[in-house]
Structure 1
């Protein structure tokens, strides 16, 4: 922490941290991370850019466009949360062609939720075309068109 002199006294000032990226990490059952990496690459058109093994897969980074996700096996000394049936977590992917992206993911093994069709989303968060899918590892993905840029939005 930095210190600053004010009128002869030392005051402590907080240093702010700047985040440079957000990389969600998906933990899967032991020995299934390699399968998950192959699945995510196939389903979402990603490329593996980094991998750490010891002896299970500690992490593999998959990159698609400017987005990254980490995939890991759960190990005994892992920082992974306790295995649960539902995470309350949903990932949103943006795509130029929502229908084609959903079709690619379904061919790779995701299950389309709802009617299995891409629909029109309502509200500021999901405006435009959107498809909802669930992968074999229990993660829910929303595949939507790129966010619309609005110049005249009031805060």
Structure 2
């Protein structure tokens, strides 16, 4: 049947996905600092921020939820409060893991510029931006909150091939030099 996957005798509905929204757990009380850093370095816009109840001895309440958006890219983050999923083996900040278990990879128009800005704002390079043999300009850094970001841009050659494929044509190749007429 169209639109269904059959597993033995049971038809299963085809499920599609629209987007992915990573939720970053930040060492408290640094989620506010992380929001400002991501806005400054990447240009994210703040969609929402929800604070928890301020506890005795806290200057500011912790952030329970912050939602940032840049075009189609969205991330969410919160101060690690030590309750709920964090205690039960769910999300934990990179410091609790002594590293991170994934890279947030973002395709952008100028990975060199974002990389340079991130490093200037306290990130640590894990892979300098360079042309990769798999057809992308790519580099990685660890942000001040322990998360690794990968920045990539398709190389020009790949862009030309993509346009050719979409147009169903091959770009004109340069003519070979003509031999001089023999005298």
Shared fold by TM > 0.5? yes
Partner of 1:3: none
* Unmatched 5+ stretches in structure 2: 1-9, 54-61, 167-183
Alignment of 1:122 onto 2:133: yes
- Aligned match of 1:93 in 106, 113, 124? 106
Flag the 1:78–1:44 CA change in 2: closer, same or farther, 3 A: farther
Q: CA deviation at 1:15?
A: 5.4
Contact 1:53 1:59 in 2 (8 A): yes
Q: Does residue 77 in structure 1 map to residue 83 in structure 2?
A: yes
**Structure 1 residue 17 displacement after superposition:** 4.8
Q: What do the CA deviations read for 1:60-104 (whole angstroms, capped 9, x no partner)?
A: 111122101111111132323343112220011111112112112
The alignment of Structure 1 onto Structure 2 pairs a total of residues equal to 137
Q: 1:39 is paired with a residue of what secondary structure?
A: helix
Q: Secondary structure at the match of 2:38?
A: helix
Equivalent-residue separation in structure 2 for 1:47 and 1:32 (angstroms): 18
Q: Structure 1: which 5+ runs fail to align? A: 1-11
Q: Which has the larger radius of gyration?
A: 2
> What is the RMSD of the two structures over their aligned residues, measured on CA atoms?
2.4
Contact 2:137 2:154 in 1 (8 A): no
Please state which structure has a larger fraction of its residues in helix: 2
Taking the aligned partners of 1:77 and 1:13, their CA distance within structure 2 comes to: 40
Tell me: higher relative CO, structure 1 or 2? Use CA pairs within 8 A at least 6 residues apart.
1
- In structure 2, how many angstroms separate the alpha carbons of the residues matched to 1:47 and 1:22? 17
SS in structure 2 opposite 1:118?
strand
* TM-score normalized by the length of structure 2: 0.65
Query: Among 43, 47, 64, which residue is 1:58 paired with?
Result: 64
How far apart, CA to CA, are the structure 2 residues paired with 1:33 and 1:109? 16
Q: Does residue 145 of structure 1 match 2:156? A: no
- Between Structure 1 and Structure 2, the one with more strand by share is 1
